[in-house]
Amino acid sequence: MDPAWTIRPARPDDAGRMAVVNIRCWQETYRGVMTDAILDEPRLPAFRERFWRAAMTDERYRDNRVAVAERDGDIIGLAMSGPSLPVRHLFVLYVLASDHGTGAGKALLDAVIPPGEPASLWVADPNPRAQAFYRKQGFRPDGTVQVDCGVREIRMVRSGQR
């Protein structure tokens, strides 16, 4: 059975729709964890649109991999990875809550970091759903912790053997 969504490389003209999905996912995931002032900042949509456009057009980010999940012409998820030392880093992976459990998250992850490729990522802690998803994809906490925008995050890494 084919999924109701498709995965494709993101295009610069997707930047505005990606920004909307990115912010909605933040609001669904981090409400009560991040301050409402950040999540509801009126300038955030324009800021995130500029971010996504730059991620796909600026020569500095030419080695990024950016993908979207799309259903009926609507973006429902997005992912981005980029080079980092010593392995590729997953910078973004979000799927709208209404599409959790559909396989879109795994498909997006595989589009920007193929299975078996060593990688690292930061994930909010606590965020048991996301952490369980990443564990299923071979990622394990390495004991490193940081706080970003008031959110405690743990680093998870995946070796190349899967």
pLDDT in tens, 134-151: 999 999 999 999 998 888
Confidence (pLDDT) at 85: 83
Q: Give tens-digit pLDDT for 38-90.
A: 999 999 999 999 999 999 999 999 999 999 999 999 999 999 999 998 899 99
Confidence (pLDDT) at 34: 87
Task: Report the chain's mean pLDDT, rounded to a whole number.
Answer: 94
What distance in Å separates the CA atoms of residue 146 and residue 155, rounded to the nearest whole number?
8
**Taking residues 115-127, what's their average pLDDT?**
95
| For residue 162, pLDDT beyond 60 | no
Q: How confident is the model at residue 2 (pLDDT cuts 50, 70, 90)?
A: low
* Bridge partners (DSSP) listed for residue 65: 81
CB proximity list for 2: less than 8 A, separation 6 or greater: none
Q: What are the sequence ranges of the domains in the chain?
A: 6-115
For domain 6-115, give the fold. Aminopeptidase (3.40.630)
pTM: 0.93
